[in-house]
Amino acid sequence: MSLLEIENLSLDIGGTPILKDISLSIGRGEVMGLVGESGSGKSMTALAVMGLLPHAARARGSIMFDGIDLVAAPEAAMCRLRGDDLGMVFQEPMTALNPVKTIGEQVAEGIRWHTGANRADAETRARAMLHRVGLPEAQFPLTRYPHELSGGQRQRVVIAIACALKPKLLIADEPTTALDVVLQAQILKLLKSLVAEDGMSLLLISHDLAVVADMAERITIMRHGEVMEAGNTKQTLSQRAHPYTRQLAEASTHVPHRPQSPGQSKPAPLLQVKEVVRDYPVRARRLFTRPAPFRAVDHVSFELPAGRSMALVGRSGCGKSTLARMILALDRPTAGSIRFQGEALEDKSEDALRPHRRNMQVVFQDPYGSFNPRHKVERLVAEPLHLLDRRPSPAERRESVAEALSQVGLSPADMEKYPHEFSGGQRQRISIARAIITRPKLIVADEPVSALDVSIRAQVLDLFADLNARLGVAYLFITHDLTVARAITDEVMVMHDGRIVERGPTARVLHHPETVPARALIDAAPDLERALQRQGAA
């Protein structure tokens, strides 16, 4: 008999149906992957199991866990199960821990609550558990507060809390989505070993097929609150019997078609970065001693030829976004020079920058945050027209906006709408339309697709490739995601601790990394094909 048996689970929140007749089972000691894009209902399924649904939610059907129906169980019974037999790890490690309690208290709390152990015993067990998740007491005493730990370390604490009492079922809801690839690999490894050692069952929820393919024996694919397909991981993902499964799998390995990079001859450099340094002051912790500044960018030099597409890859916090902001002249370097079209930017006034800004635009990561929600699309897309020396008439303005919108595959009629009326992918298209309206020579794109679902990401990448070919615009992609680099760049630079450690043609760097940081990034990157091969070998 399986440990968890969900049968015909339906759920609605305030009358809106969220889950429709979900059925799913997990055996003892089994790892089940639950995959779906946003809005597929995978997180709600997890919360339903935990009994932590929002107030207005109504569930029907049954969730049998170890012989108990969780849908019907009273709150007191659920409290006994949660943290003891059921553990859960959440997506956002930065906010999942109570900031005012030490990590020791937070791990020990569940132990004391369920076992009635005294403080000392609970702390001993907490200490042991933290050691197991890779936080040995020597470096991470129980008295540490969450804010003193990094994101990856915090996620380890959350895992320690969830696994402290060796639950029968561990639910991990996108446990690595907020972390960079290297940390992701480490956390996944940790989860794998804990599950194996303690014989726990694991329900791993992810939007990333590659992650699941690497971890799970069986997989369930959800969409719009319904189960599309379920079965053995390797089989399901290799055969791709269900059209949606196929769509997902293909999208996650999608490489846009690009005409051969324009001319092998070296065009003139569009952007030249020389010995750029950016320091940030650090707040004094002690009176009278001024701490050394934090160096975010450390003597970086490179050139970007016109019309080329280049990736700047690195782990979070390596300084790549700071560098991008300096290139965009939104921030000034502490030392060094940035030349665009042959002219230095770093000492120009805002007025003198105008002609350069016209030729250099930006696309941001967050398609939600990059628009003023109170403006219509027309005004949003037309914003850079402000840079033109001659103000266009309203009619000309509308014409330009219409043209830009059609170039990104939207209808000119969309300019009358507000941004919230669009989906995430469409919004990223609007942001690209805004970036190309002044016909720039360079677009700096800061993680332009990492917030998008896989199928939409593929479409947006296609659009980037297409614009590169048609308009000859050069790209600088800032990303931690190697699939993006692989898909549409000619060259890759790997950044680590403020320095560029490796640089070369994309294929060469991705297949034969020469430096340790580059290799770490590439090894850690989830890859569906490789994962399936490994699954086959196992």
Evaluate whether 75 touches 157 at the Cβ level (below 8 Å): no
Out of 265, 350, 389, 390, the only residue in the binding site for another protein (CB under 8 A) is 350
CB of 170 to another protein, least distance (A): 11
Residue nearer to another protein on the CB measure, 3 or 34 = 34
Of 142-150, 232-240, 493-501, 530-538, which part binds another protein (CB under 8 A)?
A: 142-150
CB of 538 to another protein, least distance (A): 28
Out of 60, 386, 470, 508, the only residue in the binding site for another protein (CB under 8 A) is 386
CB of 160 to another protein, least distance (A): 11
Residue nearer to another protein on the CB measure, 256 or 424 = 424
Distance separating alpha carbons of residues 149 and 94, to the nearest angstrom: 9
Quote the tokens at residue 458. 């593929």
Out of 137, 250, 366, 497, the only residue in the binding site for another protein (CB under 8 A) is 366
Per CB under 8 A, 357 contacts another protein: yes
Per CB under 8 A, 12 contacts another protein: no
Residues 48-107 that bind another protein (CB under 8 A): 50, 52, 55, 75-76, 79-84, 86-88, 90, 92, 95-101, 106
Distance separating alpha carbons of residues 537 and 15, to the nearest angstrom: 47
DSSP 268: P
CB of 230 to another protein, least distance (A): 20
Of 181-189, 261-269, 360-368, 476-484, which part binds another protein (CB under 8 A)?
A: 360-368
The DSSP string of 518-535 is: HHHHHHHS--HHHHHHHH
Give the N- to C-terminal CA distance of the chain in Å, as an integer.
Answer: 25
Per CB under 8 A, 370 contacts another protein: yes
275: left (phi over 0), alpha (psi -120 to 50) or beta: left
Quote the tokens at residue 249. 């799998």
69: left (phi over 0), alpha (psi -120 to 50) or beta: beta
CB of 50 to another protein, least distance (A): 6
Out of 27, 29, 39, 504, the only residue in the binding site for another protein (CB under 8 A) is 39
Out of 66, 109, 279, 346, the only residue in the binding site for another protein (CB under 8 A) is 109
Residues 393-422 that bind another protein (CB under 8 A): 418-421
Out of 104, 175, 307, 384, the only residue in the binding site for another protein (CB under 8 A) is 384
**Among the residues of 166-319, which ranges form H helices?**
181-198, 209-215, 233-239, 243-252
Out of 138, 268, 287, 292, the only residue in the binding site for another protein (CB under 8 A) is 287
Residues 156-185 that bind another protein (CB under 8 A): 158, 161-162, 174, 177
Question: What is the SS3 string spanning 375-431?
Answer: CCHHHHHHHHHHHCCCCCCHHHHHHHHHHHHHHCCCCHHHHHCCHHHCCHHHHHHHH
Distance separating alpha carbons of residues 398 and 152, to the nearest angstrom: 47
Distance separating alpha carbons of residues 276 and 405, to the nearest angstrom: 36
Evaluate whether 249 touches 209 at the Cβ level (below 8 Å): yes
CB of 265 to another protein, least distance (A): 30
CB of 491 to another protein, least distance (A): 23
**Among the residues of 415-515, which ranges form H helices?**
424-436, 454-471, 482-488, 506-511
Distance separating alpha carbons of residues 50 and 86, to the nearest angstrom: 7
Evaluate whether 448 touches 363 at the Cβ level (below 8 Å): yes
Residue nearer to another protein on the CB measure, 286 or 511 = 286
CB of 46 to another protein, least distance (A): 10
Out of 374, 389, 395, 537, the only residue in the binding site for another protein (CB under 8 A) is 374
Three-class DSSP category at 73: coil
Cβ atoms within 10 A of the Cβ of 400, count? 21
Pairing relationship of beta strands 4-13 and 57-65 according to DSSP bridges? antiparallel
Residue nearer to another protein on the CB measure, 207 or 258 = 207
- Count CA within 13 A, CB hemisphere, residue 488: 30
Per CB under 8 A, 225 contacts another protein: no
CB of 516 to another protein, least distance (A): 31
Residue nearer to another protein on the CB measure, 149 or 525 = 149
Per CB under 8 A, 497 contacts another protein: no
Residue nearer to another protein on the CB measure, 150 or 261 = 150
- Per-residue x/- track, 317-346, another protein (CB under 8 A): --------x--x-x----------------
